[in-house]
């Protein structure tokens, strides 16, 4: 599933293509994707001026001048393609008066499209109760330490909880924990404040680097232009089981990067350097 850097990259592409443009035509080809799509979506899109975009966690919100926002979630295989026609699985097509075209393509149909009043975005059922943005001022080591106090859940599961922090997924939790030198299995409540400060710093740094690289292309993800992301070439542990990490010499001195399963998801880490 696309995580925060991928969603941010897609949103920036849409922003440059649609903001300030008026929608001339919108076609909805499915009544449902993951959930039912509001049937009035094409009517509210047609004729509206796109005022801008906002990302909340792994969701995008396209704000219109009629007081409505379109909530977009890419799911497992969703893509937003600019000025390209996808013959299959294009569920929503948006055309602008300037001649631009955007298609929402989702072969596996785990994505979502919905409508919400712009003034009520944060109370939408999919957004209400989400934690702070990891790139925002509310996110810090002090915040993590305060919320983790007394918690026995592993720190990786703690980071993946969208009520704790919005937008972090499996890849970037593994990468940030490696950079911070913290084992993904350590209880969140057992991590000292200085180490939480370092973790918050590395979460932020990892996400910023990934956004600059256009995200990580794994399976279906592409940028709106159709280009791949490049951050997967910079993964330090994710997907690298058995390889030496950048701090270790590898066999026989150490066993290389380990892979375990936590809450049904693969976790990658260095058991020698992450404590």
**Total domains present in the chain:** 2
Half-sphere exposure of 23 (CA within 13 A, CB side): 27
3 included as an active-site residue = yes
190 included as an active-site residue = no
6 included as an active-site residue = no
- Specify the CATH number for the domain of residue 151: 1.10.8.50
Does 156 lie in the same domain as 83? no
- Given pLDDT bands bounded at 50, 70 and 90, which one contains residue 253? confident
58 included as an active-site residue = yes
Give the residue among 96, 210, 203 at the shortest CA–CA distance from 155.
203
Which of 2, 5, 134, 224 is the catalytic position?
Answer: 2
Decide which of 123, 149, 183 is a domain's last residue. Answer: 123
**Region 212-223 average pLDDT:** 68
Which of 3, 8, 90, 175 is the catalytic position?
Answer: 3
The domain in which residue 168 lies consists of 141-269
Is there a domain that residue 136 lies in? no
Which of 55, 58, 179, 236 is the catalytic position?
Answer: 58
Which of 101, 204, 265, 272 is the catalytic position?
Answer: 265
pTM of the model: 0.92
Does 49 lie in the same domain as 8? yes
Instruction: List pLDDT tens digits, range 154-180.
Output: 999 999 999 999 999 999 999 999 999
């Amino acid at each position: 599933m696309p995580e925060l850097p991928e969603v941010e990259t897609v949103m920036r592409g849409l922003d440059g293509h649609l903001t300030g443009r008026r929608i001339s035509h919108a076609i909805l080809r499915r009544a449902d994707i993951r959930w039912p799509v509001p049937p009035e979506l094409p009517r509210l899109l047609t004729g509206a001026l796109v005022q801008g975009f906002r990302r909340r966690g792994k969701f995008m919100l396209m704000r219109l001048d009629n007081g409505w926002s379109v909530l977009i979630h890419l799911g497992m295989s969703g893509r937003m393609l600019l000025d390209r026609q996808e013959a299959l699985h294009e569920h929503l097509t948006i055309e602008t008066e300037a001649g631009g075209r955007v298609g929402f393509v989702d072969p596996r149909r785990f994505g979502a499209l919905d409508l919400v009043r712009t003034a009520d975005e944060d109370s939408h059922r999919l957004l209400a109760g989400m934690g702070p943005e990891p790139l925002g001022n509310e996110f810090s080591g002090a915040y993590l330490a305060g919320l983790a106090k007394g918690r026995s859940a592993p720190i990786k599961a703690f980071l993946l909880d969208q009520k704790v922090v919005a937008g972090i997924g499996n890849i970037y939790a593994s990468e940030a924990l490696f950079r911070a030198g913290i084992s993904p299995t350590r209880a969140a409540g057992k991590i000292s404040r200085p180490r939480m400060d370092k973790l918050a710093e590395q979460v932020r740094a990892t996400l910023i680097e990934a956004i600059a690289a256009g995200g990580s292309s794994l399976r279906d993800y592409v940028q709106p232009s159709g280009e791949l992301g490049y951050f997967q070439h910079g993964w330090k542990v994710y997907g690298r089981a058995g390889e030496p990490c950048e701090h270790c010499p590898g066999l026989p001195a150490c066993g290389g990067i380990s892979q375990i399963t936590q809450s049904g998801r693969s976790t990658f880490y260095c058991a020698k350097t992450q404590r």
